[in-house]
Amino acid sequence: DAGVIQSPRHEVTEMGQEVTLRCKPISGHNSLFWYRQTMMRGLELLIYFNNNVPIDDSGMPEDRFSAKMPNASFSTLKIQPSEPRDSAVYFCASSLRASSGANVLTFGAGSRLTVL
Amino acid sequence: GDSVTQMEGPVTLSEEAFLTINCTYTATGYPSLFWYVQYPGEGLQLLLKATKADDKGSNKGFEATYRKETTSFHLEKGSVQVSDSAVYFCALSDTGGSYIPTFGRGTSLIVHP
């Protein structure tokens, strides 16, 4: 398996533009997570899906952020309009939810977003 | 709610030194405990895990023992290498509450030759 695949790896855009980040989870995994990582706030959970259904989006900063998972093999995180404070590394992770609670996440390499 | 507390970094060591990174947790149920490692420019990856009290997780020379009595899961390595330079995250996944992993803030390790 190629692992969790994210694109783009790097994105530089101007304030006000729309940004779309993409994620392909590991085949067979039933949970998908979007995280944001910054120096100031560390690793923050934005939203997670179980069986393609959004379960908890309480970590989404505001209405400018939205996430979708139209099928088991694809998810997007969209920011519209983008602002400089959105600059961060965004990670997608997937897992096979286990009843034992040993929920091991596999992370993608991340998408580094810079908003000028 | 669940929480994980890690020692603040950076931790700076010389090659072949002994490493300890402290981690303590608070959980309402019976958590599984994890250490993830993030190398520069990469995503986090699982380093080791332990699913019940007194279990020892180990991988690549790193070890951590699940201590329920002290609610701790400290990471240790007997002799670090320059290639171990990375950020280390302690995490838990609680069966008694949400199964969503809770991560610590991460501890940066810098190993000098």
Give the one of A91, A101, A107 whose C-beta lies nearest to B94's C-beta: A101
The answer, for B51 touching chain A at a CB cutoff of 8 Å, is yes
Which residue in B89, B39, B101 sits closest to A94, CA to CA?
B101
B45 DSSP 8-state letter: E
Residue whose token pair is 């709610």: B1
Q: Find where tokens 């010389």 sit.
A: B14
pLDDT at A97: 77
Q: pLDDT tens, A54-112?
A: 998 999 988 999 999 999 999 999 999 999 999 999 999 999 876 556 788 999 999 99
Contact call for B51 and A4, based on CB within 8 A: no
Res B33: pLDDT: 94
Report the pLDDT averaged over residues A17-46: 94
Q: Determine contact, residues B34/B51, Cβ cutoff 8 Å.
A: no
Instruction: State the pLDDT at residue B99.
Output: 73
pLDDT at position B97, please?
A: 54
Check residue A76 and give its pLDDT. Answer: 98
- Which among A26, A19, A10, A7 has a CA at the least distance from the CA of A95? A26
Residues of B in contact with A101 (CB under 8 A): 29-32, 51, 93-95, 99
Long-range CB pairs of B79-82, under 8 A, 24+ apart, other chains included: B79/B16, B79/B17, B79/B18, B80/B13, B80/B15, B80/B16, B80/B17, B80/B18, B80/B19, B80/B109, B80/B111, B81/B15, B81/B16, B81/B111, B82/B15, B82/B111, B82/B112, B82/B113
Mutating which of A103, A106, A111 best tests the B interface, going by the most B Cβ atoms within 10 A?
Answer: A103
Q: What is the 3-state secondary structure (H, E, C) of A26-82?
A: CCCCCEEEEEEEECCCEEEEEEEEECCEEEECCCCCCCCEEEEEEECCEEEEEECCC
pLDDT in tens, A8-31: 999 999 999 999 999 999 999 999
User: Chain A residue with minimal CA distance to B29?
Assistant: A101
Query: Mind listing the pLDDT tens digit of every residue in chain B (113 residues)?
Result: 789 999 888 999 999 999 999 999 998 878 899 999 999 999 999 999 999 999 999 999 999 999 999 999 999 999 999 999 999 999 998 765 567 888 999 999 999 99
Tell me the one-letter amino acid at B40: P
| Local structure of residue A85 (DSSP, 8 states) | G
Report the length, in residues, of chain B. Answer: 113
